[in-house]
Chain A
Amino acid sequence: MSFVAYAMILAGGVGSRLCLLSEKRAKPAVPFGGKYRIIDFTLSNCVNSGIFDVSILTQYRPLSLRNHIGIGRPWDLDRKRGGVELLQPFQGWTENDWYRGTADAVWQNWHRIAERESEHFLVLSGDHVYRMDYRPMIEAHLERGADATIAVAEVPIEQASQFGIIRTDEAGWVTEFLEKPRNPPSGKISMGVYVFRGAALFQALESDAEQNTGHDFGKNILPAMVGRGRVAAYPFVGYWEDIGTLDSYYRANLDLLRDDPPFPLVDARWPIFTPSTESPPARIGARAHIRSSIVTHGTIVNGTVERSVLFPGTVVEEGAVVRESILMGETWIGPGAVLDRIICDKRVHVGRDAVLGTGPLIPNRSCPEHLSSGITIVGKETRVPEGIVIGKNARIAPDLVEDDFPAAGVASGDVLERGSGAPSAPAGQTRR
């Protein structure tokens, strides 16, 4: 039968370039845009495209993803037939191993694909922000009789080296697939959105499984399939952002705040679904100033907020100033605190009159390649002490308490971990 009604979403990656954000959760579970998680975009694309049978392959820190997806009710994926399931690595009678790569994850779960009636199916990535109707791509795939069809987006050539580059002939067949080349020949890149003919993918995965490769779709499977023949390209036009790095995460969030956003969250024809938290409407106080920002349910704003994204339950007290920052759920910003270009993970507590994101622009010393544009990041549930000064490109670990911070503050580019704060001062004698 030639129809496509099943999708596998790859959601197992560590996402190390997101630094702290993915330290406690898988990349697709990273909060985005005020109330979403990154995987919501792909899941919503599936159901809006009429695909209600979805498996999500997880491996790294799946708990927050599991909590988020639940039985799939927000996406209407709590179904008797189909629905959503999370596939975690497991111990079997003969094989037992962690997934060795994205291709291995699909290979180890091949029985789930084999059970489906459809001959073709989708393989998607769980960490992209985009709206896409998969149906025209599926139609093109079936019409051409392709073994695989790759959705292709165009990015500025200087960014292209982070992606798989696609070269096609005039008819749109892929002639070359270069994974993350140093000098990309063009900005035509693979979006990590594929339609496969089951038998063709089975062959490719089977031979890959026996070889000593990275077992990766981009590095191994697609280049091998291109060598063998019928791989088509499908051009995608529209907003597409791979939330691979802290900078791209930050940029994609701030893009939402433009008066003419390239990716509007509101689109009645293509809604993005997510579990809504049970909280009251945002409460905006008499002395609040809010400009170009996203506010969500449960937030309370009495201070100044500019060009920022406030997730549910965020509180900005009077006299506090929050600029170009992303504050995840239930963060508290004390009176008089000033934040510039800060990403606060969930349940961070910023003491009164603390100043975050000031000083010279020095790249972070532990991850200079990912933390150099001036963003300071504060890990989950950390309590930032009153009146402290924290520089730019700093990285503050999760779960710290006030006494973990040195009285002199945290300089630009510094990393603060538990115990690295005030090495000589005995506990309780640090400050105040």
Chain B
Amino acid sequence: MPSILVLVLAGGRSERLHALGRMRPASALPFGGKYRVIDFTLSNCVHSGLTRIGVLTQYAPLSLQEHIGIGRAWDLDRRDGGIRLLQPYVRQRETNWYRGTADALVQNRNVIADAQARHILVVSGDLIYKMDYGPLIERHEARRSALTIVTTRSPEGERDRYGVVEADTAGRVRALADRSGGAADEKISAAIYLFRGRDLMERLADPALGPDLVHDVIRPMIHEGLPVYADPLDSYWRDVATIPSYFGASMDLLRPRPPLNLHDPDWLIYTPSEDRAPSVLGGGGDVTSSLVAHGGRIDGTVRRSILFPGVQVDAGAVVEDSIVMHDTWIARGARIEQTIVDKQVRIGEGAEVGVGTPARRPDTLGDLESGLSVIGKRAEIPARARIGRNAMIESGVREADFESTELAAGSTVRPRERRRR
């Protein structure tokens, strides 16, 4: 195989993750009961034999840094290559945060050049999919492509988020439009780009280059008539940088025949496994259609839900159609429906979240109109509180922050004295 450098774009702040994205980029979101989103991309890389990887981070990189460490979980602690986190840094002249995806690459030009890779695979770290990059690389080489754009069909309901790839019958890309028009059979960009190394390096060397990879690098390459090809990915693919898409992709895992199988022994998703005891399902517990990670204690009812490590569901509590992250405690008699609960949350005895009918939200949280509620990290829900649907409980909310224990659908609760981020 030709030498390949992988650059994972994992730095973006995802406004549309709201409380889930306060402390982490989408790529660091916990997913599937024990993983983080970026694990899917990293596992694709190692299963494809690509072991020279740079992860470009900027926004709230600590959780990613801790997660990736020296890359041992992926066998990426290597003498040659391996994984490196590329954070913006101060230099003698002109110091800047990454102003965009292209700028992030420009600022790491030296690192990219040092790798002397024949091709450079630039991928978003916010994607859930399984893909062997090997055949892609072969076709890219066979076509003598300057750039190959992996395409997919847009998932339902979210078409306006993706760029549309227009290609001729031979696969030659003619245009990359900004947003999808909404047709179901459109090919959209999967945010997986394979560049011929010298073509990308040439462009990064241009002092007048704009900050955005799609707008300032990819589109000009198409317009200038360089050989840019589309390469379809036919299997499951989701971008999970919004709350509805994250929730939808999570629930897809619980289908009787999941479109993405975590249990496939030939394509395991690697992640640093936490040291936890096995989960105990108690005498009164009742769990169906769910994923349960280690370290949990379940004495209540859990249906169609994903429980991350260390979740405790007490007797009489009910969790339905929800995602519950690490070490959250759902006390006796509490009830959670259609809610994403971040880490270390405490749901008090008999509290109800997400029960009832959804309401229109007055603010910009249109994403929650589907009826989902979100409870941010380390929030505390008072005992016997009744919180209606599509609620947003910000991270760090204490019991004292609740003006009332009865909250209508579509409510938001913030900590009274908001610390500066």
Contact = CB atoms under 8 A, between A and B. Distances in A.
Contacts of B113: none
7 closest A-B pairs by CB: A281-B33, A34-B278, A276-B273, A265-B277, A280-B262, A281-B293, A296-B278
Contacts of B256: 285-286
A293 interface: yes
B318 to A, nearest CB: 16
Interface residues of B, number: 35
15 contacts: A35-B294, A261-B280, A265-B278, A266-B280, A271-B275, A274-B275, A280-B263, A281-B292, A286-B288, A290-B285, A292-B283, A295-B281, A297-B34, A297-B293, A297-B294
Contacts of B262: 280-281, 283
A265 to B, nearest CB: 4
Contact of B279 (A74, A279, A292, A296): A296
Nearest to A310: B278
A291 B283 contact: yes
Given A266-B297, A282-B279, A292-B281, 18 more contacts: A33-B277, A271-B275, A280-B262, A281-B32, A281-B33, A281-B291, A281-B306, A282-B291, A282-B293, A283-B263, A284-B289, A288-B288, A290-B285, A293-B281, A294-B281, A296-B294, A297-B278, A298-B263
A260 to B, nearest CB: 10
Contact of B275 (A74, A259, A290, A300): A74
Given A276-B275, A281-B291, A285-B256, A291 B269 contact: no
B295 interface: yes
A257 interface: yes
Contacts of B306: 281
B248 interface: no
Nearest to A330: B265
Contacts of A35: 277-278, 294
A143 interface: no
Interface string A102-115: 00000000000000
Contact of A284 (B263, B276, B287): B287
A149 to B, nearest CB: 31
A33 B288 contact: no
A35 B280 CA distance: 12
Most chain A CB within a 10 A radius of its CB, from B32, B34, B281, B297? B281
A1 B290 CA distance: 56
B269 A280 contact: yes
A282 B269 CA distance: 14
A250 interface: no
A281 B34 contact: yes
B261 to A, nearest CB: 9
Interface residues of A, number: 38
Contacts of B291: 280-284
B98 interface: no
A348 to B, nearest CB: 18
A34 B280 CA distance: 10
A273 interface: yes
Interface in A229-278: 256-257, 259, 261, 265-266, 271-274, 276-278
* Dominant SS among interface residues on chain A: loop
Contacts, number: 110
B288 A257 contact: no
Contact of B280 (A272, A277, A294): A294
A102 B70 CA distance: 41
Nearest to B293: A281
B268 interface: yes
Nearest to A257: B280
B54 to A, nearest CB: 24
Nearest to A289: B286
A379 to B, nearest CB: 23
B282 interface: yes
A347 to B, nearest CB: 13
B292 A282 contact: yes
A431 interface: no
B270 interface: yes
Most chain A CB within a 10 A radius of its CB, from B34, B263, B280, B289? B280
A325 to B, nearest CB: 15
A116 interface: no
A278 B307 CA distance: 18
Contacts of B297: 266
A287 interface: yes
A257 to B, nearest CB: 7
A291 B278 contact: no
A33 B256 CA distance: 29
B274 interface: yes
A287 B288 CA distance: 7
B321 to A, nearest CB: 13
Nearest to A267: B277
B282 A259 contact: yes
Contacts of B273: 276-278, 297
B274 A256 contact: no
Nearest to A301: B287
B354 to A, nearest CB: 21
A280 B281 contact: no
B268 A278 contact: yes
A295 B286 CA distance: 13
A303 to B, nearest CB: 12
Contact of A278 (B270, B282, B292, B295): B270
Contacts of B274: 276
A272 B34 contact: no
B268 A290 contact: no
A276 B272 CA distance: 9
Contacts of A297: 34, 273, 278, 293-294
Contacts of A271: 275, 277
Given A266-B295, A282-B291, A294 B270 contact: no
B405 to A, nearest CB: 30
Given A279-B268, A284-B291, A292-B283, A273 B275 contact: yes
A420 to B, nearest CB: 34
B269 to A, nearest CB: 7
A295 B292 contact: yes
Contacts of A284: 287-292
Contacts of A294: 278-281
A298 B34 CA distance: 11
B282 A292 contact: yes
Nearest to B287: A284
Nearest to A273: B275
A78 to B, nearest CB: 12
A273 B262 CA distance: 25
A291 B298 CA distance: 10
A273 B276 CA distance: 8
B278 A295 contact: yes
Contacts of B32: 280-281
A204 B285 CA distance: 55
